[in-house]
Amino acid sequence: MPNLHRLSALVVLSTLALPACAPGEPDGEAVEAAGQPSPLAGACEPDNDGLSLPDGFCAIVFYEGTGGVRHLTVRDDGTVFVAVPDRRRGPEAGPGGVLVLRDGDGDGRAELSDRWGEIGGNEVLLDGETLYVASNDAVVRYILPAGMVMPSAGPDTIVSGLPDNGDHSNKSLALGPGGELYVNVGSPGNACQEPDRTEGAQGLDPCPQLETRAGIWRFDPATLGQSQTDGTHFATGLRNVVALRIHPVTGVLYGVQHGRDQLHDLFPDLFTVEDNAEKPAEEFVRIEEGDDFGWPYCFFDPEAETKVLNPEYGGDGQEVGRCADKKDPIVGFPGHWAPNDLEFYTGTQFPGRFRGGAFIAFHGSWNRAPLPQAGYNLTFVRFEDEAATTEREVFADGFRQEVAGESTARPVGVAMGPDGSLYVSDSLQGRIWRIVYAGA
């Protein structure tokens, strides 16, 4: 197949480093575990629908879309469940729900669809016959008997009354190895200023938002009718972790958080327009109980590779201060790329270097001017011995195609199918791509 790898040095943060070979061995590419080419490769779009992918990969438009969607999950039989948010405007305005897509004839594309429910939100998460759905203020569950695409009952409400005022109201979920349910509750604003996003305004200290926002809460999903106070405040200082997932082997919780905005806009004497575009980093983090990642007092500076004090709390872009004891990320990504989903690759279809690693769906920036907007991609982070490394690469790009100055697609969800294919969803048109390995 033709070379489809068109990633520039400006967007590829690093290439994957393969283990060094012993004398006499072939190079790393030759000794890595081989992929298993998908029988669907022949159904791929001639131009991959405009996507840029590594050599040997191709893309199928699994679903054309009829309006923006959010996260998705794939059952063992290949049925895809998609979260549809409440739509407040336009021809598709109305309550959200769950979109169900099936490839009945095996051509790699969904020709069968169902839609049910009126609870719209960001997350759908499948655990056996239980489908969890996260709206902006609650988490509910439906029971889906084997092979069924409509729930037999429900919804049952696990937790309600979660705060959803202000920004970052989308809730994301992860299921722990013991069945525990983790819920991201994002901050309501930028940096706990009063008033928010106001030039020169100082931050509230201590920040009262940390009591109910900007962190991860843990719940028992077997207990119905809970409120936020019934859960455990698992970790704090995380502005908004829309990308949240448990490592399938270690049971450790990982996430990718959205960094703060507007350093130059709000403090022009301390930060340049370039600082505004490049800082702070989006943070790929390992989350353990009791962790404090520093928001709103700190941000991670990718240039200095350390957390520094936010200007709302007396920082000048260099002072570390109280940030010295806040937990650092494993990887810092470019500012404002907007990480929105995370999936660990446990399949065998893709070549060995991808197995056990993490794919991150970046939604793309809105505030990197005067630099070009960036992100809008699927990025891979390599794991080694079940631990994250700093090695990463942009795996899929080309989602952003401007029409009249507006993007036509923004990646929002990523999920692995039972055959090892990757599904990527779009928040603007609701398009869903299926990425498969076609062979070396």
Domain chopping of the chain, boundaries:
43-437
Side-chain half-sphere exposure of 393, counting CA atoms within 13 A: 18
pLDDT computed for residue 92 by the predictor: 65
pLDDT computed for residue 12 by the predictor: 35
Which DSSP category does 52 fall into? Answer: B
pLDDT computed for residue 231 by the predictor: 98
Alpha helix positions (H), 58-206 = none
Are residues 67 and 429 in contact, defined by beta-carbon separation less than 8 angstroms?
yes
CA 325 and chain centroid, separation: 26
pLDDT computed for residue 94 by the predictor: 77
Are residues 322 and 308 in contact, defined by beta-carbon separation less than 8 angstroms?
no
Query: Which residues have C-beta within 8 Å of that of residue 380, sequence separation ≥ 6?
Result: 16, 354, 357, 358, 359, 360, 392, 393, 394, 395
Nearest one of 215, 218, 240, 213 to 230, comparing CA atoms: 218
Are residues 257 and 293 in contact, defined by beta-carbon separation less than 8 angstroms?
yes
Q: How far apart are CA 338 and CA 357, in angstroms?
A: 20
Residue 56 backbone dihedrals phi, psi, to 5 degrees: 95, -5
The three-state secondary structure class of 29 is: helix
Nearest one of 208, 310, 332 to 258, comparing CA atoms: 332
pLDDT averaged over 10-residue windows placed end to end, the chain, 440 residues: 30 35 42 91 96 97 94 97 85 84 96 93 96 97 93 92 94 96 98 96 98 98 98 98 98 98 97 96 98 98 96 97 98 97 98 97 93 95 95 96 76 98 96 96
- Backbone φ/ψ region at 49: left (φ over 0), alpha (ψ -120 to 50), beta: left
In total, the chain counts a number of residues equal to 440
pLDDT computed for residue 401 by the predictor: 78
Q: How far apart are CA 121 and CA 168, in angstroms?
A: 12
pLDDT computed for residue 284 by the predictor: 98
The token pair that represents 199 in the structure block: 């030039």
Which DSSP category does 328 fall into? Answer: P
Superfamily of domain 43-437 in the CATH hierarchy: TolB, C-terminal domain (2.120.10.30)
pLDDT computed for residue 54 by the predictor: 97
pLDDT computed for residue 16 by the predictor: 34
